[in-house]
Chains A and B, each alone.
Chain A
């Protein structure tokens, strides 16, 4: 059975700290791994990773994929209170003429001022 596991489940840090969020997966027919940020509304897309070892970066956020060990990490440096959110990891797989997405349960990050 396909599964995506995120850790930790929750995390509390202070502004300025660096955090690393983890996502491991066991999914057949992997196409890509996705990271989303969810505040009190819909998830918003952060990164899509398809190749091992190539870092994607956007400001203070970065992410990398290891397809051999089947995991990805999301790093946030110099955290700010605005980074407080749930971070979701998902794996995309093509199947039966469409694409399906298997989501982890998320990591809840709280950044204290």
Chain B
């Protein structure tokens, strides 16, 4: 258990609305990541962070933004949700015990 929580765990929203997903960690990890997981595509990196206010884009960043104003929280915002953003979203950290990547429990987002 890498001390990662995600909220909400499930959300249903409508096309065009903004949505913010939260990732919270309690162990002061520097590196944090947001992925989405879809059938046939595996895990795809949306955005990542390497410190407070230090973020960068991953391979599928269009339509998403992130913020990290403090070490423990990494927020993912869908500025105007679309049906193609229906997915399971995982937050991850890089940390001990193996200095590798560990995942949060996930958020299932449905955009109608």
A residues with a Cβ closer than 8 A to B are 32, 34, 41-45, 48, 88, 90, 92, 96-101, 103-106
Q: Which residue of B lies closest to A44 (CB)?
A: B103
A68 CB to nearest chain B CB (Å): 23
In contact, A34 and B100 (Cβ under 8 angstroms): yes
Residues of B within 8 Å of A88, CB to CB, are 42-43
Does B74 sit at the interface, judged by CB under 8 A?
Answer: no
Does B70 sit at the interface, judged by CB under 8 A?
Answer: no
Give the number of residue pairs across the A-B interface with Cβ within 8 Å. 49
Give the docked Cα–Cα distance between A99 and B68 (Å): 17
Query: Helix, strand, loop or mixed for chain B's interface?
Result: strand
Residues of B within 8 Å of A48, CB to CB, are 98, 100
In contact, A41 and B100 (Cβ under 8 angstroms): no
Given known pairs A98-B50, A99-B31, the reply for A105 and B103 (CB within 8 Å) is no
Does B102 sit at the interface, judged by CB under 8 A?
Answer: yes
Does B78 sit at the interface, judged by CB under 8 A?
Answer: no
Residues of A within 8 Å of B103, CB to CB, are 42-44
Give the docked Cα–Cα distance between A16 and B40 (Å): 28
List 15 interface pairs A-B (beta carbons < 8 Å), by A numbering.
A41-B105, A42-B103, A42-B105, A42-B106, A43-B90, A45-B100, A45-B101, A48-B100, A97-B50, A98-B31, A98-B56, A99-B94, A100-B48, A105-B40, A105-B42
B84 CB to nearest chain A CB (Å): 18
Q: Which residue of A lies closest to B30 (CB)?
A: A98
Residues of B within 8 Å of A92, CB to CB, are 100-101
In contact, B41 and A45 (Cβ under 8 angstroms): no
Give the docked Cα–Cα distance between A45 and B101 (Å): 8
Other-chain residue from B40, B56, B94 in contact with A96 (beta carbon distance below 8 A): B56
Residues of B within 8 Å of A103, CB to CB, are 42-44
